[in-house]
């Protein structure tokens, strides 16, 4: 029987081990939970109809029906401080809902699931980015507050075998981790369960954390401490192996998308024929040829401007990985409280997500080499 990872505490459970909750008719026992497999003819131990939602037996939180039925796709989004994780998530949802990505994938829709996800996205992402024109707030550490998931359903129109069209939902869970949790080993340990439950990982690299890039493009940052991006990769590999017996000496099978952010600042560092100077080629499908062109371009850039050891470490740790280059905003913020007056104009923002969706089989892939 397939297992379901709770999107709140990341604990895996078999479907029959999920709990149901007693309903209003149970009086004083209302809210009592019991394993679903103990339900007799669909009724609780008191003989009444239980509440409809399943409950995680570990953390006691309600699980959305669509998440349980689909099995969910947990995606971890990590990166050092200032890599733009929160901004990337906030703009990505907007682009899949009503932006350029929505227009290029006919019949696709994105729906945030549950009041918690809808309220969190509106208050922490949509309002600051698209109404107030300011950057999103920094994510709080997992030691201070448990990371809240952003759960949404992606639906793609698909042709049916015997004619007509159907809709295939892909329920996705995003977590946005604090930069200091990635940078500090003792805090990253708190996220082992979260990473272990991930079916895909998106690692965002901040080019301004790289000394040679800072010297070349110039920054107004007054920070004296920066995060070594290679250390983040090493730590990620260590944590993914923590609960996987026999993984020593073997490459990890969790697909890893490594995205170089803020490429709007790096435009002059890429030649005129660079694939990062042309629009995304993913129009209704994932264009593998375009993806591989970008992959090789970013890999060569990292060898030249950062450290050749980075790619060697990735290649020796992960069986499936891909490099990307993107800009979530399209232009740097004016200040810590104000975005560019040109607004939000993302560039290749969706590429890492589309690659994972293609690997999951949710969208088609063309141009395989």
Which pLDDT band holds residue 162 (cuts at 50, 70, 90)? Answer: very low
Give me the mean pLDDT over the 143-155 stretch.
Answer: 71
Q: Which long-range contacts (CB under 8 A, 24 or more apart) does 117-121 make?
A: 117/149, 117/150, 117/151, 117/152, 120/148, 120/150, 121/90, 121/93, 121/150
For position 91, what pLDDT does the model report? 94
- The per-residue pLDDT for range 86-101, each reduced to its tens digit, is 899 999 999 999 888 8
Pick the range with the lowest mean pLDDT from 21-30, 47-56, 161-170, 328-337.
161-170
Which pLDDT band holds residue 156 (cuts at 50, 70, 90)? Answer: confident
Residues 100 and 50 in one domain: no
Termini Cα distance of the chain: 36
Residues 159 and 131 in one domain: yes
**Alpha helices by DSSP H, 122-228:** 179-183, 185-188, 192-196, 211-217
Structure tokens at 317: 């740790």
The boundaries of the domain holding residue 38 are: 3-66
CB of 75 within 8 A of CB of 133? no
Residues 205 and 285 in one domain: yes
Residues 296 and 187 in one domain: yes
On the question of pLDDT at 235 being above 50, the answer is yes
Residues 196 and 216 in one domain: yes
Pairing of strands 12-14, 33-35: unpaired
Pick the range with the lowest mean pLDDT from 46-60, 111-125, 232-246, 332-346.
232-246
Average pLDDT taken over every residue of the chain: 84
- Which has the higher per-residue pLDDT, 63 or 171? 63
On the question of pLDDT at 110 being above 60, the answer is yes
| Residues in contact with 175: Cβ distance below 8 Å, sequence separation at least 6, in sequence order | 74, 75, 76, 77, 147, 149, 150, 194
Q: What percent of the chain has pLDDT over 90?
A: 41
Residues 51 and 88 in one domain: no
Residues 192 and 306 in one domain: yes
Query: Of 19, 41, 66, which residue is a domain's last?
Result: 66
Query: Of 14, 36, 66, which residue is a domain's last?
Result: 66
Residues 225 and 349 in one domain: yes
Comparing CA positions, the residue from 112, 135, 111, 114 lying closest to residue 125 is 135
- The per-residue pLDDT for range 250-289, each reduced to its tens digit, is 899 999 999 999 999 998 899 889 999 988 889 989 999 9
Residues 60 and 131 in one domain: no
Residues 36 and 173 in one domain: no
Total number of domains in the chain: 2
Here the CATH number for the domain that contains residue 218 is 3.40.50.300
For position 163, what pLDDT does the model report? 43
Give me the mean pLDDT over the 351-369 stretch.
Answer: 87
Residues 273 and 327 in one domain: yes
Residue 240 buriedness (CB in 10 A; 0-12 / 13-18 / 19+): buried
Residue 186 buriedness (CB in 10 A; 0-12 / 13-18 / 19+): exposed
Comparing CA positions, the residue from 360, 358, 362, 351 lying closest to residue 155 is 362
- 42 φ/ψ sector (left φ>0, alpha ψ -120 to 50, else beta): left
Q: pTM for this structure? A: 0.88
For position 149, what pLDDT does the model report? 81
Which pLDDT band holds residue 367 (cuts at 50, 70, 90)? Answer: confident
CA gap 357, 369 in Å, rounded: 19
Query: Of 27, 47, 66, which residue is a domain's last?
Result: 66
């Amino acid at each position: 029987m397939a297992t379901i990872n709770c999107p709140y505490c990341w604990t895996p459970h078999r479907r029959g081990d999920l709990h149901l909750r007693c309903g209003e008719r149970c009086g004083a026992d209302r809210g009592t939970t019991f394993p679903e497999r103990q339900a007799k003819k669909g009724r609780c131990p008191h003989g009444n109809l239980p509440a409809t939602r399943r409950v995680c037996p570990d953390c006691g939180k309600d699980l959305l029906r669509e998440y349980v039925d689909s099995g969910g796709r947990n995606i971890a989004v990590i990166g050092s401080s200032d890599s733009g994780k929160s901004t990337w998530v906030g703009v990505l949802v907007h682009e899949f809902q009503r932006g350029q990505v929505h227009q290029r994938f006919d019949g696709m829709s994105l729906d945030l699931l549950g009041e918690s996800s809808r309220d969190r996205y509106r208050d922490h992402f949509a309002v600051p980015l698209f109404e107030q024109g300011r950057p999103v707030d920094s994510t709080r550490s997992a030691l201070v507050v448990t990371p809240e998931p952003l759960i949404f359903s992606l639906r793609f129109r698909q042709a049916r075998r015997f004619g007509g069209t159907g809709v295939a939902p892909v329920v996705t869970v995003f977590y946005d981790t604090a930069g200091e949790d990635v940078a500090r080993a003792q805090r990253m340990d708190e996220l082992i369960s979260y990473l272990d439950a991930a079916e895909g990982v998106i690692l965002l690299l901040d080019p301004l954390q790289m000394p040679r890039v800072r010297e070349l493009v110039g920054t107004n940052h007054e920070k004296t401490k920066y995060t070594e991006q290679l250390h983040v990769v090493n730590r990620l590999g260590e944590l993914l192996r923590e609960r996987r017996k026999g993984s020593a000496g073997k490459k990890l099978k969790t697909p890893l998308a490594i995205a170089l952010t803020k490429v709007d600042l790096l435009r002059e560092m890429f030649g005129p024929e660079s694939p990062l100077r042309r629009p995304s080629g993913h129009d209704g499908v994932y264009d593998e040829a375009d993806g591989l062109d970008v992959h090789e371009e970013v890999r060569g850039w990292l060898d030249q401007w950062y450290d050749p050891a980075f790619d060697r470490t990735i290649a020796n740790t992960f069986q499936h990985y891909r490099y990307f280059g993107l800009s979530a905003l399209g232009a740097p913020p004016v200040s810590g409280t104000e975005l560019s007056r040109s607004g939000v104009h993302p560039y290749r923002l969706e590429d890492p997500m589309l690659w994972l969706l293609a690997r999951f089989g949710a969208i088609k892939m063309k141009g395989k080499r």
